Structure 1
Amino acid sequence: MLLKKLVFTLGLLLLSSCLMVKPADAAEKEAIIINKSNNQLAFYENGKLQKVFPVATGRTRSLTPEGKFSLVNKVKNRPWYKEGIPGGDPRNPLGARWLGIKVPGDWGHTSGNMYGVHGTNQPSSIGTYVSSGCIRMYNKDVIWLYDRADKNIPVYITSSSSSFTALAQKYGVGANKAVAGNEFFNETLRYGSKGDSVAILQRKLNIKADGMFGPQTLRAVKKYQTSKGLVADGIVGPKTRKALFSK
């Protein structure tokens, strides 16, 4: 009898330890990061950056809350209850999919029914600051995300000049290795610049990514700018970034 109790107790301890590890492991390897400074959303899966999407966020900085939240519900063709518009209707501003975010604090415990990442019937609004707090995506993009993002994964919302690689390191997300072509930076780079953003630039230009904006990088930037009909000044500002990251 004593042996049976001991085996039973050990089994319970092993089961509880497994249950404790799984959520933390999932949170580490899968996450959504939203950067309001450039209106971009990054999705991490299996510890790697899979895709970066353009989004629209709040009309003012305070409307889209910042912090660490959780994805708590997922709805296909959610109705627009405020105006009584059914899901799937072209007039519905929530688009094809809804991924609800639980936002505590001053905004109340909403269980993901008030704030969310969703599609839109106004695609021209993507990339702008126009919403009442939610994060809008193109319908094709939110469908892709809906099919891959699991409930209860962390959702980080921030306003930062850092790259997604740097933000992932800050939040402890995954292996911090990006799928080629999906990294993004939002700062102006020039000769003498250093850091993750320079390394992202160098990978885009297919040169050695040492994070140092030196003579080789300067030559590569000027060559790229010339090929795109831009002013070949070697400075990576908004126009050069747009050319680098346009699809």
Structure 2
Amino acid sequence: MPLTRRAALIGAPLFLAGCATQGRLPAPTAATPSIDPRWAAMYGPVEGEPFPVPAVDISEIDPQFLRQEVAYRGAEPAGTLVVDPNRRFLYLVREGNRAIRYGVGVGKQEGFNFQGEATIARKAQWPRWTPTPAMIAREPERYGPYRDGLAGGPTNPLGPRALYLYKDGRDTLYRLHGTTEPWSIGTMVSSGCIRLLNQDIIDLYRRVPTGSRVIVLPAGAAGVA
């Protein structure tokens, strides 16, 4: 299937094994009263987890990157995940020409980004994170101390869930995962993985089974409009 097929989408309210953080910005300001209460509830604290999943301060995030159902007229069947790195969106295609759209953060350099088709071959809750050899070689002082991995938890850069992308039966080392940096959604900051808000990756994790097809459009291509 050509990855540059044009699809029309209209919005409506409703790390590789080594994905990494990029440092923190100053503490966000308090949420303003104008925030839609539906989104405030959607991104509130998540109960019943082994580690805290705090509320997201959505005042620091462009509303277009918050989870919402949209019209979708592409040809992909229901259950397909389509990632548009250019617009920083991930679409979970549904029946009836609809999709759930999530805001994402993508690789900070084009060469760091996976593109093409893959399959979700594994799912993990509170996954372990291990930087890749390339990451350690690139920034040994930063990533070297974690060469043996970091257990799942509130400081783990993969967040509370991870979906592992495989191609032709082999691990691509790219993931769909949560983040410790909610302000980064809608930006190019990761080491190549597709990061979502923690509440969004928990929602997506519940909706997609292993074996689900993922299409990551090429950076710079007009595959999704």
Which TM-score bucket, shorter chain as reference? 0.5 to 0.7
Give the equivalent residue in structure 1 for 2:181.
122
Q: Indicate the structure with greater helix content.
A: 1
Match of 1:79 in 2: 128
Identity %: 30
CA distance, structure 1, for counterparts of residue 125 and residue 104 of structure 2? 19
Q: Verify: 1:99 aligned to 2:163, yes or no.
A: yes
**Counterpart secondary structure, 1:78:** coil
Does residue 90 of the first structure (1) align with residue 154 of the second (2)?
Answer: yes
1:136 to 176, 195, 217: 195
Partner residue, 2:100: 51
Root-mean-square deviation (CA, aligned residues, Å) is 2.0
Aligned partner letter, 1:121: T
Paired with 2:96 and 2:167, the residues of 1 have a C-alpha distance of 24
How far is 1:64 from its partner?
1.2
SS at match of 1:29: coil
Residue identity in the other structure for 1:71: I
**Structure 1 residue runs of 4 or more that deviate by more than 4 Å after TM superposition:** none
SS of residue paired to 1:33: strand
Distance in 1, Cα, partners of 2:96 & 2:162: 24
Which of 59, 69, 78 is equivalent to 1:29?
78
Match for residue 5 of structure 2? none
Instruction: Tell me, in whole angstroms, the C-alpha distance in 2 between the residues paired with 1:35 and 1:85.
Output: 29
Deviations 1:184-238 (A, max 9, x none): x4xxxxxxxxxxxxxxxxxxxxxxxxxxxxxxxxxxxxxxxxxxxxxxxxxxxxx
Q: Is the 8 A contact 2:159 2:198 kept in 1?
A: yes
**Is 1:161 the equivalent of 2:222?**
yes
Counterpart CA distance in 2 for 1:95 and 1:42 is 20
Letter in 2 for 1:86: A
- Counterpart selection for 1:149 from 183, 187, 208: 208
- Out of 148, 151, 170, the position equivalent to 1:109 is 170
SS in 1 for 2:92: strand
How far is the alpha carbon of 1:62 from its aligned partner?
Answer: 2.2
Instruction: Answer yes or no: is the 8 Å Cα contact 1:28–1:47 preserved in 2.
Output: no
- What is the rounded CA distance, in whole Å, between the counterparts of 2:93 and 2:77 in structure 1? 9
Check whether the contact 2:88–2:104 (CA below 8 A) recurs between aligned residues.
Answer: yes
Give the distance between the partners of 1:145 and 1:47, measured in 2 at CA: 19
Following superposition, the deviation at residue 47 of structure 1 comes to: 5.8
Conserved? CA contact 1:30–1:47, under 8 Å: no
CA contact (8 A) 2:81 2:91 kept: yes
Q: What's the secondary structure of 2:77's corresponding residue? A: helix
Deviation, 1:48, is 4.2
Shift, 1:30, TM fit: 1.3
Higher relative contact order (CA 8 A, sep 6+): 2
